[in-house]
């Protein structure tokens, strides 16, 4: 998740959309039909969340983007059932927008901004290329068959046009939730496809039984050539949100569940159009992320947006991450900063083709748990499964980042002896997960990327509290997660 100077502008666009929606308000369908049999109740840090469930006189069903947009904006407590697949790019007239449509829809007919083109934009960032165009102007010759002067002007505008057309996509694919909302899939066919749910300064939300597929950013900005990109749009993004429970969902790159490869654009750009699946920041608090499947994505759960948010995060950012199946999630399962994180009873399955440690990381899988600045992390009852070239390697279970402050160290408490579940990798005992973590810290200290003492392994000051289920062993956890995680069939 990133958010940016253009936020005020986005809010303005969003407000205009809302006004437009209010202008021709649809009749939302009240719903009293059969509901899915969802057995879990909120627990952990979001244990107080009720969503919209307390208001039995506000229950709706939505089947398309316009209905969803209207329902999430209702200013009172409500339950919204999602029927089938809702496409985030579905325009008010029913058409599914492509990237070019967002460009064409921006501004008025004939607007100069329609001259935006993603490939031209990438060329415009290439100083060598631009200097060739300038040379053609100096030589008074066409460039690549075009008027070089006009082309240079067009190149000069691309960087300014990009955020303007991006705001059009954002207004279409972004759905802002309001307080006291339950958003629930009617059955296992329910999906939000290409939708960014954003929870900004909202309280008391349930998101349940949904497939959640984030939008692909049509207009991401490159950070470094060829493969580092600044793409927008999480499947679910929390900014200063509280009491949020996400349960029985499936978060993934596309409906099929397969990983989406980057787009290749000359001369070798690998365009990554995805941001996170579940990113939380800016003083968010009291979140439970439970019984979800997180599959085939590269940067999945970012919990803590970075140093600039430290003042708003410290003392908040309490997360329970329980009973999830991370299957092919390449990193950030989660990445954690400035808060308290209970990582309990999850299954981690990865294809590990990278050699141990982080020297040579060409394959997709990077790491599971990122222990970053001042995080307080409790780890227990998790199960690890790996296949690929290095099925037994434990060096990617943890990584360490931003570990520099001796006076405010990150703290990690690992419970791995009965009554807690002794950890396993592929069913074989991991002798000591504590030692795996200690080795990870040593590796980062030795390579100069962390300061000794800035990550402390201790359970002092952590509370060992009641969990929804006590497990016998890894197999018990695995069977529980296999049967409880994901949408309810
Ligand atoms: C949400 O519910 C709380 C009580 O649970 C209430 O105080 C608050 O006004 C509600 N907010 C909205 C927008 O309905
Ligand atoms: C419950 O829903 C009704 C709409 O049916 C709404 O008017 C009322 O304000 C809601 N109550 C609460 C407490 O949000
Ligand atoms: C869900 O959508 C299907 C197909 O559009 C429709 O036939 C059905 O009536 C809808 N169900 C509800 C509860 O609205
Ligand atoms: C739907 O709206 C879009 C955007 O305004 C427009 O480009 C498209 O032609 C419309 N399609 C139909 C079938 O009206
Ligand atoms: C920049 O442009 C030059 C000249 O066209 C080209 O050789 C080079 O590959 C381009 N580099 C990138 C990163 O696009
Ligand atoms: C190229 O475009 C510029 C600006 O529109 C114009 O002044 C110039 O005459 C054009 N050159 C040619 C060769 O057409
Ligand atoms: C939603 O809840 C938050 C936190 O309780 C509160 O600050 C905010 O004013 C509420 N928003 C509305 C529109 O009632
Ligand atoms: C989070 O939960 C704790 C404990 O129930 C409560 O004290 C705190 O006010 C909650 N924070 C928010 C932002 O709701
Ligand atoms: C995990 O992902 C793989 C590859 O996408 C898939 O074949 C397998 O069925 C998944 N396992 C579970 C339990 O969902
Ligand atoms: C992984 O561990 C298993 C069981 O201990 C062993 O049979 C296998 O040879 C190991 N594989 C590799 C690549 O080290
Ligand atoms: C860690 O967080 C503190 C704020 O508490 C900040 O001053 C510091 O720069 C951060 N360190 C890193 C490496 O990000």
Query: What is 248-286 written as a DSSP string?
Result: S-EEESSTT-PPPPPEEETTTEEE-----SEEEESS-EE
Tell me whether residue 16 is in a domain.
no
Number of domains the chain contains: 2
List residues near ligand 10 (CB under 6 A): 391-392, 428
Q: Is the CB of 92 under 6 A from ligand 4?
A: no
Residue at 177 is within a domain: no
* Structural Rg of the chain based on CA atoms: 24
**Three-state SS at 44:** helix
Residues framing ligand 11 (Cβ under 6 A): 307, 310, 373, 402, 404-405
463 lines ligand 4 (CB under 6 A): no
What is the reported pLDDT for 41?
Answer: 96
Ligand 3 centroid from CA 83, angstroms:
6
Please give the pLDDT value at position 25: 59
Out of 285, 317, 318, 320, give the residue to mutate to test ligand 8, the one with the largest number of ligand atoms within 8 Å of its CB.
285
Any idea which ligand is nearest the CA of 406?
Answer: 11
Residues 149 and 250 reside in one and the same domain: no
Q: Is 6 within the bounds of a domain?
A: no
Token pair, residue 391, equals 């099925």
Are residues 260 and 127 both part of a single domain? no
Task: Give the number of residues written for the chain.
Answer: 489
Question: Of 142, 160, 178, which residue is a domain's last?
Answer: 160
Provide the pLDDT for residue 12: 44
The residue segments making up the domain with residue 232 are 189-484
For the Cβ of 30 lying below 6 angstroms from any atom of ligand 2, the answer is no
Helices (H), 267-368: 310-313
- Positions in the chain whose pLDDT score sits under 70: 1-26, 359-361
pLDDT per position as a tens digit, 178-209: 999 999 999 999 999 999 999 999 999 999 99
Q: Provide the pLDDT for residue 21.
A: 45
Closest-CA residue to 280 (of 365, 201, 398, 364): 201
pLDDT of residue 17: 45
142/195 same-domain check: no
Give the residue among 56, 185, 187 at the shortest CA–CA distance from 197: 185
Task: Report the Cα 478 to chain-centroid distance in Å.
Answer: 24
Ligand 3 pocket list (CB less than 6 A): 33, 61, 63, 83-84
Write down the pLDDT at residue 466.
82
**Are the beta carbons of 201 and 240 closer than 8 angstroms?**
yes
If phi > 0 it is left, if psi is from -120 to 50 it is alpha, else beta; for residue 398 that is beta
Same domain, yes or no, for 121 and 252?
A: no
| CA distance from start to end of the chain | 31
CB distance 260 to 297 below 8 Å? no
Backbone dihedral angles phi then psi of residue 438, each to the nearest 5 degrees: -60, -40
| DSSP label at residue 12 | H
Mark whether 327 and 476 lie in a shared domain: yes
In a domain, 173, yes or no: no
**Ligand 7, closest atom to CA 179?**
1
In this structure, are strands 278-281 and 325-329 parallel, antiparallel, or unpaired?
unpaired
Final residue of a domain: which of 111, 144, 160? 160
Instruction: Provide the β-strand partners of residue 206.
Output: 182, 245
Nearest ligand for residue 46 CA: 8
Residue nearest atom 14 of ligand 6, based on CA coordinates = 147
CA angle centred on 488, ends 484 and 489, rounded to 5°: 120
Check if the beta carbon of residue 248 is closer than 8 Å to that of residue 212.
no
Does residue 370 sit in the same domain as residue 468? yes
Rounded to whole angstroms, how far apart are CA atoms 282 and 334? 16
Backbone angles phi, psi at 106, to 5 degrees: -80, 135
Q: Is the same domain home to 130 and 256?
A: no
Whether residue 234 lies inside any domain: the answer is yes
Query: Atom 9 (ligand 11): residue with closest C-alpha?
Result: 307
DSSP SS3 for 15: helix
Kindly list the distances between the CA atom of residue 449 and the CA atoms of 364, 400, 444, in Å, as whole numbers in the listed order: 22, 9, 5
Q: Are 315 and 388 found together in one domain?
A: yes
Rounded Cα distance, 272 and 205, in Å: 30
Contacts 24+ apart (CB under 8 A), 51-57: 51/77, 51/79, 51/180, 51/181, 51/182, 51/204, 51/205, 51/206, 51/245, 52/77, 52/78, 52/79, 52/80, 52/180, 52/181, 52/182, 52/206, 53/79, 53/182, 53/206, 54/180, 55/79, 55/180
Which is nearest to 291 in space by CA: 319, 322, 251? 322
User: Is 382 part of any domain?
Assistant: yes
Nearest CA to ligand 2 atom 7: 76
Domain assignment of residue 205, yes or no: yes
- What sign does the dihedral 356-361-367-371 (CA atoms) show? positive
Q: Are residues 108 and 245 in the same domain?
A: no
pLDDT tens per residue across span 246-305: 999 999 999 999 999 999 999 999 999 999 999 999 999 999 999 999 999 999 999 999
Distance (angstroms) between ligand 9 centre and the Cα of 102 equals 35
- Residue 341 neighbours by CB under 8 Å, 6+ apart: 303, 319, 321, 334, 375, 376, 377, 378
Kindly state whether residues 335 and 394 are assigned to the same domain.
yes
The answer to whether residue 372 sits within a structural domain is yes
Same domain assignment for residues 120 and 201: no
Q: Which of 143, 160, 177 is the last residue of a domain?
A: 160
Residue of 147, 148, 151 to test ligand 6 pocket, by largest number of atoms within 8 Å of CB = 147
Q: What is the pLDDT of residue 357?
A: 85
**8 Å CB contact between 185 and 208:** yes
Classified as helix, coil or strand, 318 is strand
User: For the domain that residue 446 is a member of, what is the CATH number?
Assistant: 2.160.20.10
- Which residues on neighbouring strands pair with residue 193, listed in sequence order? 87, 213
- Do residues 107 and 228 share a domain? no
Is 50 near ligand 2, meaning CB less than 6 Å away? no
């Amino acid at each position: 998740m990133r958010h940016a100077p253009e936020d005020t502008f986005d809010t303005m666009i969003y407000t205009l959309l809302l006004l437009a929606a209010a202008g021709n308000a649809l009749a939302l369908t009240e719903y009293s039909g059969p509901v899915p049999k969802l057995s879990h109740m909120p627990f952990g840090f979001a244990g107080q969340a009720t969503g919209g469930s307390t208001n039995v006189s506000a229950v709706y069903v939505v089947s398309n983007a316009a209905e969803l947009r209207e329902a999430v904006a209702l200013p009172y407590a409500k339950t919204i059932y999602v029927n089938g697949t809702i496409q985030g790019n579905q325009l008010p007239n029913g058409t599914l927008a492509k990237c070019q449509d967002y460009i064409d829809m921006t501004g008025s007919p004939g607007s100069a901004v329609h001259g935006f083109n993603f490939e031209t934009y990438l060329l415009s960032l290439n100083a060598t290329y631009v200097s060739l165009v300038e040379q053609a102007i100096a030589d008074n010759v066409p460039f690549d068959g075009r008027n070089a002067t006009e082309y240079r002007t067009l190149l000069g505008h691309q960087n300014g046009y990009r955020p303007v057309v991006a705001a059009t996509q954002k207004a279409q694919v972004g759905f802002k939730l309001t307080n006291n909302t339950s958003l629930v899939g009617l059955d296992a066919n329910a999906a939000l496809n290409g939708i960014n749910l954003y929870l900004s300064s909202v309280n008391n939300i349930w998101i349940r039984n949904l497939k959640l597929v984030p939008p692909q950013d049509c207009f991401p900005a490159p950070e470094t050539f060829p493969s580092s990109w600044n793409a927008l749009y999480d499947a679910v993004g929390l900014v200063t949100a509280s009491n949020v429970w996400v349960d029985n969902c499936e978060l993934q790159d596309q409906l099929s569940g397969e990983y989406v490869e980057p787009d290749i654009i000359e001369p070798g750009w690998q365009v990554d159009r995805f941001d996170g699946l579940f990113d939380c920041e800016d003083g968010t608090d009291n979140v439970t992320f439970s019984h979800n499947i997180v599959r085939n994505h590269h940067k999945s759960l970012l919990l803590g947006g970075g140093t600039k948010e430290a003042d708003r995060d410290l003392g908040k950012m309490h997360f329970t991450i329980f009973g999830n199946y991370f299957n092919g999630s390449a990193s950030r399962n989660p990445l954690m900063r400035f808060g308290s994180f209970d990582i309990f009873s999850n299954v981690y399955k990865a294809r590990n083709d990278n050699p141990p440690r982080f020297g040579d990381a060409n394959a997709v899988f990077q790491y599971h748990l990122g222990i970053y600045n001042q995080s307080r992390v409790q780890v227990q009852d998790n199960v690890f499964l790996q296949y690929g070239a290095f099925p037994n390697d434990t060096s990617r279970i943890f990584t360490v980042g931003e570990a520099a402050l001796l006076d405010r160290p990150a703290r990690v408490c690992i419970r791995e002896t009965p009554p807690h579940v002794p950890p396993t990798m592929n069913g074989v005992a991991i002798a000591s997960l504590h030692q795996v973590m200690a080795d990870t810290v040593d590796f980062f200290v030795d390579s100069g990327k962390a300061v000794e003492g800035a990550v402390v392994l201790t359970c002092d000051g952590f509370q060992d509290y009641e969990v929804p289920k006590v497990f016998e062993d890894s197999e018990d956890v695995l069977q529980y997660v296999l049967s409880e995680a994901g949408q309810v069939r």
